[in-house]
Amino acid sequence: MRINVARRLTHRLSSWRPVNDASVNAFVCIAPPTPSAPDPGLPLNGVSVGLKDMICTTDMPTTSASGMLRDFTSPFDATVVTLLRAAGAHIAGKLNCDEFGMGSLNVHSIHGAVVNPFQAPSVAASVPWTEREKRSAGGSSGGSAAAVAAGLCDAALSTDTGGSTRLPAAYCGVVGLKPSYGLISRHGIVAFADSLDCVGIMAPTIARTKRIFDILNRHDPADPTSASHDSRAAASARAFDSWSSGVPSSLRIGVPAEYFPSELPPRIMSRVRAALARLKELGATLVPVSLPATPYALSAYYVLASAEASSNMARYSGVHYGMHVPAPAGEPPSMTAAAYARTRSVGLGSEVKKRILLGTYSLTADAFDNYFLQAQRVRRLVSEDFARVFRASAHSRDNRDAGMGGEGVDVLIHPSAMRVAPRLGEVDGSDGLDAYVQDVLTVPASLAGLPALSVPLPASGAEGSGDEDECVWPVGASVVGPWGAEEAVLAVGEMLE
């Protein structure tokens, strides 16, 4: 059921701010009315949750923002959708994204780009929305971040393969959690790169993010990569052992040198510094740490994610489901490579085609050793870097003298993004390289499967020099913890709010 979402949502928004979905373009489909009222005793009763359009639903299409799935409706709900419905949540609708989750700006979508709804109060008061510059909501889960930022739903689910929850959350000024790999079920999530894909959560506050996480954080036998009860219990015991959450004076925060490159704009640097200073005032200990494999993580991510994507995208052949472009009149129907190519040429967008070519190349006999295997090695080095600095990991306990005062740290904090939301006009036709570079701060936690939370930071008094208008745009800080330490990561996030 595809309807004019804009008209339906405008009345709700008009009393609040002059933004409606027509100008934000976050929703691609709004949910049909639910037949029965939910039980008021349920934990998410009354909470409206939007879903990235890569999360399968039986009552709405799941397009993944691709021409290939324009008319696809799943025969089953994703496990996360079943859990949300059972907890009493209202599924608000499906949210725009980059095609199959590939992108950082939400400009690669058959539904069009998502516009960042953020408005600084001073600007909102003086410049009408229609006359304001349009900025990117970030990607690939731009619709999820924009819908939450504009107040179109109470929370949203996203996905995060290399930063797609944290980057748009930072650009739009909302909270975005990428949980540890394997904690939230991927059953019913359209796959991009299986060894990296996670379901993310976006909300205006940490408390609401946690409420949704608590519902979704359970083992799912339908997902072969879902973490077992035992490994979940062991991880939270380790994290508890390491830091009794809520006591800032015993908290050790690692500040990784590699995540504060000289290219970081002063307005971002100053806000993150101010946030760290606040935590220090609360009694936390700031520990400079080094994660030396970080500079190689981005290239490794793009090799591995594209390799897995090239394999996942093979299912969109035009034969089983999704778009099918028939043979031209007069030619017999066939199942040849030419027939697949006909459908795929039309059904897939340019960014997806680029990833398929890159991924297929890295898996060929000629390139395998130099690209795919090297990237796997870098992935291991990135994981080892993290294991060395966290005190909850056995590795760090074996390396007490690793230059960290004899102890590891409980979490790391760093900027979520290298810039504030860019203007849409400047990035629309971007060929990708600049967009790829924006993932540099988010991909390491993805490669290592660690929990990472982007929290919007309040504007500080001294933002550094530069364009006044730029200074008001949201900036996010990321809190990264050891695998399974969501409780600690969210508790530190709350101190930043």
Q: Tell me whether residue 20 or residue 141 sits nearer to ligand GLN (CB atom).
A: 141
Q: Tell me whether residue 251 or residue 307 sits nearer to ligand GLN (CB atom).
A: 307
Three-state SS for 166? helix
Buried b (16+ CB within 10 A) or exposed e, 149-172: bbebbbbbbbbbbbbbbbbbbbbb
Least Cβ distance, residue 163 to ligand GLN (angstroms): 5
- 64 binding ligand GLN? (CB under 6 A): no
- 140 binding ligand GLN? (CB under 6 A): yes
Give the one residue of 118, 171, 181, 192 binding ligand GLN; rule: CB under 6 A: 192
Three-state SS for 50? strand
Least Cβ distance, residue 448 to ligand GLN (angstroms): 14
Residues belonging to the active site: 52, 140, 164
Q: Tell me whether residue 136 or residue 396 sits nearer to ligand GLN (CB atom).
A: 136
C-alpha 76/C-alpha 188 separation (Å) is 8
Q: Tell me whether residue 13 or residue 448 sits nearer to ligand GLN (CB atom).
A: 448
Tokens (6 digits) for 337: 């490579």
Buried b (16+ CB within 10 A) or exposed e, 265-294: bebbbbbbbbbbeebeeeebbbbebbbebb
Q: Which residues 6+ apart lie within 8 Å of 310 measured at CB?
A: 355, 356, 357, 358, 359, 360, 363
Q: Dihedral through CA 188, CA 194, CA 195, CA 201, nearest 10? A: -40
C-alpha 135/C-alpha 142 separation (Å) is 11
Give the one residue of 63, 106, 161, 180 binding ligand GLN; rule: CB under 6 A: 161
Least Cβ distance, residue 447 to ligand GLN (angstroms): 12
Q: Tell me whether residue 24 or residue 445 sits nearer to ligand GLN (CB atom).
A: 445
- 99 binding ligand GLN? (CB under 6 A): no
Binding-site size for ligand GLN (CB under 6 A) equals 14
Least Cβ distance, residue 194 to ligand GLN (angstroms): 12
> Which residues face 478 on adjacent strands?
414, 454
C-alpha 288/C-alpha 256 separation (Å) is 6
Three-state SS for 184? strand
Q: Tell me whether residue 275 or residue 305 sits nearer to ligand GLN (CB atom).
A: 305
Site for ligand GLN in 235-254 (CB under 6 A): none
- 163 binding ligand GLN? (CB under 6 A): yes
The reply to whether omega before 140 is within 30° of 0 (cis) is yes
Give the one residue of 103, 138, 318, 493 binding ligand GLN; rule: CB under 6 A: 103
Three-state SS for 462? coil
Residue span binding ligand GLN (CB under 6 A) among the ranges 160-168, 271-279, 286-294, 382-390: 160-168
Site for ligand GLN in 428-447 (CB under 6 A): 439
Least Cβ distance, residue 203 to ligand GLN (angstroms): 18
C-alpha 22/C-alpha 104 separation (Å) is 21
Give the one residue of 109, 164, 317, 460 binding ligand GLN; rule: CB under 6 A: 164
Q: Which H/E stretch holds residue 378? A: helix 374-389
Closest CA to 253 of 265, 266, 243: 243
Q: What is the DSSP letter of 6?
A: H
Q: Tell me whether residue 55 or residue 491 sits nearer to ligand GLN (CB atom).
A: 55
Give the one residue of 31, 80, 152, 305 binding ligand GLN; rule: CB under 6 A: 305
Give the one residue of 102, 239, 268, 417 binding ligand GLN; rule: CB under 6 A: 102
Least Cβ distance, residue 198 to ligand GLN (angstroms): 9
Q: Tell me whether residue 261 or residue 432 sits nearer to ligand GLN (CB atom).
A: 432
Least Cβ distance, residue 161 to ligand GLN (angstroms): 4
Give the one residue of 21, 99, 160, 220 binding ligand GLN; rule: CB under 6 A: 160
Give the one residue of 62, 104, 270, 478 binding ligand GLN; rule: CB under 6 A: 104
- 217 binding ligand GLN? (CB under 6 A): no
Q: What DSSP assignment string belongs to 227-283?
A: PPHHHHHHHHHHHHHH--TT-GGG-EEEEEGGGS-TTS-HHHHHHHHHHHHHHHHTT
Q: What is the DSSP letter of 22?
A: H
| Interacting residues with ligand GLN (CB under 6 A) | 101-104, 140, 159-164, 192, 305, 439
